[in-house]
Amino acid sequence: MRVGVIGGGQLARMMIPAAINLGIELRVLAESEGMAAELATAGVGDYRNVDDVLPFASTVDVVTFDHEHVPQSVLRALVEAGVAVRPGPDALQYAQDKILMRQKLSELGMPVPRWAAVSDASELADFLDQNGGVAVVKTARGGYDGKGVRVVRAAHEADDWFMALAEDANGGPLLAEELVDFRRELAQSVARRPSGEVTAWPVVESIQRDGVCAEVIAPAPSSAGKLAQVAADVATGIAEGLGVTGVLAVELFETVDDRILVNELAMRPHNSGHWSIEGSTTSQFEQHLRAVLDLPLGATGCVYPWTVMVNILGGPTAGTLADRYPGVFEDHPTAKVHNYGKTPRPGRKIGHVTVSGADLDEVAYDARAAAVQLTD
């Protein structure tokens, strides 16, 4: 069994232990030498170039992804050449284009924020008028400006994006969404295999700092009962409705008026699921491999009452994560450190730490303290 992964980042890296356990040969097409998944790197190439991707794909039984950036043209060329691509291009388009995603989720009756595709300042002004004078504006396809998300209170605040899109042959409208008044953010991961089986992990709480996932609590506190079921049903419905294969992570808002709204989708293992390596009977990385190989899926229950994962970002000081191991291991004997083998840069995700146990306060304190020690 050979699984090819396009992209050599930490998600591909974390598939390697799962592949070793199951005796699956993992082959990574990396963007460059020395990436996080170097140990399984079978070649270096440009994922936007079908001449790099197709020869790689011909050496494996199934192709999957470390990211969602492979262009539709390349994906469809692979499918035409008979490659098993999981998730396939029909599903991936919804992870690549936020307007397509909103349209499709609305068609499926999924709970989403109020939204509109807006082509110019006048349409954005109309949306603002209808939504209390504030909107979240997003580029449908990331990359025009930083992370491509902006809160606007006047239509002219998106003029630069409208201008950039007007000059882009592949440009299109922007996505305007209501600014959701949410209590907290949740994430619900599921896995689906081609023959139809879907399994859901418990819904988790995702705590963002500066727009980046900082911490995940599994399961989400106070999520027993209806909330957990609604979240699992929404993600399962999306996986089935969009024909996703492999892991699907659905970022959710829990609103102040107790609704669940879908924020973003990721069709791959996701930062919000790293807790599952230690915290669930089957990790998202093992499950993703099982799913893309169309093997029966593993049990997804929690191993511990509580698992907390905290990301480790590159800090302001020099030195590697390993330099901090003596102190961190001494002070946190139950902490599981994951080091992505990346050169630290301020703000770059270079690892994560997971702590599990019976008391949430203790577990969360320990995980946060270990992450701070690894960062500062």
Per-position x/- string for 24-53, each x denoting binding to a second copy as judged by CB under 8 A, each - no binding: x--------------xx-------------
Nearer to a second copy, 101 or 292 (CB): 292
What radius of gyration, in Å, describes the C-alpha atoms of the chain?
21
Other Cβ atoms less than 10 A from the Cβ of 33: the count is: 9
CB of 103 to a second copy, least distance (A): 36
- Closest by CA to 291, choosing from 220, 365, 192, is 192
Stretch that binds a second copy, among 128-136, 151-159, 231-239, 334-342 (CB under 8 A): 334-342
**348 in contact with a second copy (CB under 8 A):** no
Decide: 192 and 291 in contact? Cβ < 8 Å: yes
Nearer to a second copy, 3 or 124 (CB): 3
The crossing angle, in degrees rounded to 10, of helices 89-96 and 98-107 is: 110
- Closest by CA to 248, choosing from 226, 273, 229, 230, is 273
Q: Which of 142, 144, 341, 372 binds a second copy (CB under 8 A)?
A: 341
CB of 289 to a second copy, least distance (A): 11
- Closest by CA to 205, choosing from 191, 229, 189, is 189
- Closest by CA to 322, choosing from 334, 310, 336, 339, is 339
Q: Which of 41, 189, 339, 373 binds a second copy (CB under 8 A)?
A: 339
Q: What one-character DSSP code corresponds to residue 38?
A: G
CB of 124 to a second copy, least distance (A): 46
Other Cβ atoms less than 10 A from the Cβ of 222: the count is: 11
Q: Which of residues 233-292 bind a second copy (CB under 8 A)?
A: 281-282, 290
C-alpha span between 231 and 237 (Å, rounded): 10
**With contacts defined by CB under 8 A, how many residues of the chain interact with a second copy?**
39
Q: Which of 295, 360, 369, 372 binds a second copy (CB under 8 A)?
A: 295
C-alpha span between 26 and 17 (Å, rounded): 10
- Closest by CA to 215, choosing from 345, 325, 352, is 352
**125 in contact with a second copy (CB under 8 A):** no
Nearer to a second copy, 23 or 211 (CB): 23
Beta bridge partners of 177: 115, 136
C-alpha span between 31 and 50 (Å, rounded): 14
**322 in contact with a second copy (CB under 8 A):** yes
**98 in contact with a second copy (CB under 8 A):** no
CB of 287 to a second copy, least distance (A): 11
Q: Which of 73, 329, 347, 359 binds a second copy (CB under 8 A)?
A: 329
C-alpha span between 287 and 338 (Å, rounded): 19
Nearer to a second copy, 41 or 96 (CB): 41
Q: Which of 71, 79, 325, 369 binds a second copy (CB under 8 A)?
A: 325
Decide: 201 and 250 in contact? Cβ < 8 Å: no
**304 in contact with a second copy (CB under 8 A):** yes
State the residues that interact with a second copy by CB under 8 A: 1, 13-14, 16-17, 20-24, 39-40, 281-282, 290, 295-299, 303-304, 320-322, 325-326, 329-330, 333-334, 336-341, 351, 356
